[in-house]
Every structure is written in C-alpha cells, then in structure tokens.
C-alpha cells in the first residue's frame, strides 16, 4: 500500500478536484456547534476535522421523509416516486458511519429487498477521514478503529501538517488520478485513544444482555428519560419508519410518505384500539439497548451499535448507553462471582 500526502493548504484544491467528477457531500458547519453532511458548493466550507454530525450518511439512502408514491383519488391510480442512485462522492466520513451502512445494507437486503434504499446506495464513492475520539465516541469497544478503512475507496488520516492518503480501490484510484500527491514521508500514526469503553466484547455481551432483562437499570433510566426519542432519531443504525398519507387540500390526490420512527416513542407500539405494547419508558429503553446489543447480535454476531456516541451526545437528560451496558456487565459479573 503506498501512502500519499495531502498538505493542509491543498485540501481545498483536492475538494475542487473531486467536485469536477461528481456531486460531493461533506461535513460543513450548520451552526456554531453543529456540523452536518451537506452538498458541497464551496470547497472552503468543507470541515474534515470534526467530532460528529447529528445525522449520519444514512440520511442519503433512507431520507428522514421519503415520498413513496403519489395517488389520484379521481381515478384511483398511483405513481411510485422516482428513486435515483445517489451517484456521489461522500467525503469526510468517519469509520463508524461507514460500518453503520454495512449493517443497514444487511437490514435492507434481507428477505424482501428494499428497493428505494438499495437503489440510492448505488454509485457512491467513499472517502473516509480519521477522527480523534471525544468524550462520547466508543467505537473501539465495538471493533471499529478511528483508522478503520473497510468499505472506503480512499481514506485520509489526519497528521499535524495535513492528511495521509490511502487509495484502497479502483474507484479511489480514479478519484485521485490527475491530482498530484507526493508520497508520504512517514507511516500512518497510531489512532487516538478512546475515553469511553464497554467492558466486554460482543461475544460475551450476548450472554450478559440475555441475563439483564430484569435489571433495575431500566427502571432507573426511566426516571431520568423524557422519552423524546432523540436517541433513536440520531442513531446511524436505527431504521424503523412510519408510513403516513397526506391528501392535498383539493381532495383529489395526495402522497404516501415514510418518516423515521423510533422505539422510544410512545406511539411506536400503539395499535388499533389504543393498546400500547411498551407503554413504560423502562420497557422502551430496554428494547432500544437490546436492539443494539442483543436481538440483532444474536442473529448476526455483530453489535448493531457502532459506537458513534450520538445517542448520548444528543440526550438532554444525559443518559449514556455505555453506562447502561457496563452496568449490565458489572451486575452480571457480581452475580456470577457471588454464585461461586
């Protein structure tokens, strides 16, 4: 693998080079404290050194609001919404967000493949960037290094004077061809250290979580939680949605949309007649965490959490998924030791 070097003062030129090839989406400031993946119009606006975006790349393949079809009430016909491949360069993506897309690819191709998601997934060139773990990141605990290059066509590792560039696929080679990059004069540095850790690997967590169904932690968290659902809505591996139909004011037609939904929301489990299956916040919190560390993990062997830290970073009540899992681990170990 040859390692190239992109000096800080050439990043803008590099972004311009990419923009000549395809539409580029990259992190940009949307507020003083917030960064979001947006279409790049001005190469100078791109930020490669950032903590996290509120929404992951998921939003491009599974939009928060997605029109599925439009219907005509006068002749009872309908037209499916046109869905196009994204066909773009995604620049400045962190490894955990790329890993989340692997998980969603699995979710949406199992059983009846989901056409809208899979169509939009096509034609994407992935350019990753390393990150410096902050007080919320814990992807190292779920096997995702800040330098993990899996799934990327090219990867930028931040060093003091700029970025080390790894070209990983043919698509990546094509991307950088025509842009002069000198060879790097030093090897890839060690990734930054995490400040948050889950104590056990997933192989052992399955057993722990299975034994944690009646843990008191769920009721304790329910006292702190307001059930706003932010943790679901910012999660890169949550993929539940609701379907809504809206008739326009002429009452001659309308659209059917799907909108992201979340298991922390009360109406998520509400059925006809008003029955709510998970009426309490404790049951809902348990379900959310089990979906990340048990239910899908039993099936696939992988945690369905990628350690981005969003659910914790955006929780106004300060609920930490790492603390919840570690509490389950320590309670499990304590019981285990006492039993011996």
Residues that bind other proteins (CB under 8 A): 30-34, 36, 54-55, 59, 64-65, 222-230, 233-234, 244, 246-251, 259-260, 262, 265-267, 281, 314, 316-318
Three-state DSSP state, 229 = coil
Signed CA dihedral, 329, 279, 291, 132: sign only:
negative
Contacts of 88 by beta carbon, 8 Å cutoff, 6+ apart: 22, 23, 24, 25, 60, 123, 124, 125
Give the nearest distance from C-beta 137 to other proteins in angstroms.
Answer: 17
Beta partners for residue 260, in sequence order: 241
Give the nearest distance from C-beta 33 to other proteins in angstroms.
Answer: 5
Q: CB count, 10 Å around CB of 3?
A: 16
- Please state, in angstroms and rounded to a whole number, the distance separating the CA atoms of residues 303 and 295: 9
Nearer to other proteins, 250 or 338 (CB): 250
Nearer to other proteins, 33 or 112 (CB): 33
Nearer to other proteins, 156 or 311 (CB): 311
Give the nearest distance from C-beta 54 to other proteins in angstroms.
Answer: 5
Task: Give the tokens for residue 124.
Answer: 């994407």
Q: CB count, 10 Å around CB of 253?
A: 16
Give the nearest distance from C-beta 227 to other proteins in angstroms.
Answer: 6
Nearer to other proteins, 39 or 65 (CB): 65
- From the list 22, 14, 5, the residue with the least C-alpha distance to 178 is 14
Q: In the block, which residue shows the tokens 């791109």?
A: 46
Give the nearest distance from C-beta 76 to other proteins in angstroms.
Answer: 14
Nearer to other proteins, 133 or 229 (CB): 229
Nearer to other proteins, 65 or 335 (CB): 65
Task: Give the tokens for residue 66.
Answer: 């997605």
Give the nearest distance from C-beta 317 to other proteins in angstroms.
Answer: 6
Residues in the chain: 340
- From the list 47, 49, 40, the residue with the least C-alpha distance to 16 is 40
Task: Give the tokens for residue 147.
Answer: 């330098």
Nearer to other proteins, 153 or 261 (CB): 261
Contacts of 108 by beta carbon, 8 Å cutoff, 6+ apart: 62, 114, 117, 118, 239
- Please state, in angstroms and rounded to a whole number, the distance separating the CA atoms of residues 171 and 101: 18
- From the list 27, 24, 23, the residue with the least C-alpha distance to 45 is 27
Nearer to other proteins, 75 or 267 (CB): 267
Give the nearest distance from C-beta 320 to other proteins in angstroms.
Answer: 14
Give the nearest distance from C-beta 250 to other proteins in angstroms.
Answer: 5
Give alpha helix (H) positions in 269-320: 281-290, 296-300, 310-313
């Amino acid at each position: 693998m040859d390692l190239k070097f992109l000096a800080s003062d050439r990043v803008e030129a590099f972004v311009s080079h990419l923009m000549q090839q395809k539409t580029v989406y990259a992190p940009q400031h949307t507020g003083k404290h917030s960064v979001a993946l947006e279409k790049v119009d001005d190469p100078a606006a791109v930020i490669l050194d950032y903590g996290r975006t509120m929404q992951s790349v998921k939003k491009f393949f599974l939009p928060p609001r997605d029109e599925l079809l439009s219907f005509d009430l006068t002749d009872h016909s309908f037209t499916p919404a046109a869905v196009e491949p994204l066909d773009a360069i995604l620049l400045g993506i962190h490894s955990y967000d790329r890993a989340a897309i692997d998980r969603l690819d699995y979710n949406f191709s199992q059983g009846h493949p989901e056409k809208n998601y899979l169509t939009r997934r096509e034609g994407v060139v992935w350019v990753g960037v390393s990150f410096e773990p902050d007080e919320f990141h814990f992807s190292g605990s779920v096997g995702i290094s800040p330098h993990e290059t899996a799934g990327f066509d090219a990867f930028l590792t931040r060093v003091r004077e700029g970025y080390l560039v790894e070209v990983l696929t043919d698509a990546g080679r094509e991307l950088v061809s025509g842009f002069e990059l000198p060879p790097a004069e030093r090897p890839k540095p060690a990734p930054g250290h995490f400040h948050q850790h889950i104590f056990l690997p997933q192989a052992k967590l399955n057993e722990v979580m299975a034994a944690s169904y009646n843990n008191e932690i769920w009721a304790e968290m329910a006292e702190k939680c307001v059930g706003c659902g932010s943790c679901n809505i910012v999660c890169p591996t949550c993929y539940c949605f609701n379907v809504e139909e809206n008739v326009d004011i002429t009452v001659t037609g309308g659209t059917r949309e799907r909108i992201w939904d979340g298991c922390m929301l009360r109406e998520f489990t509400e059925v006809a007649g008003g029955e709510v299956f998970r009426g309490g916040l404790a049951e809902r919190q348990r379900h959310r965490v089990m979906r990340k560390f048990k239910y899908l993990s039993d099936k696939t062997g992988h945690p369905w959490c990628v350690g981005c830290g969003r659910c914790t970073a955006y929780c106004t009540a300060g609920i930490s998924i790492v603390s919840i899992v570690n509490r389950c681990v320590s309670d499990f170990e304590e019981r285990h030791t006492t039993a011996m």
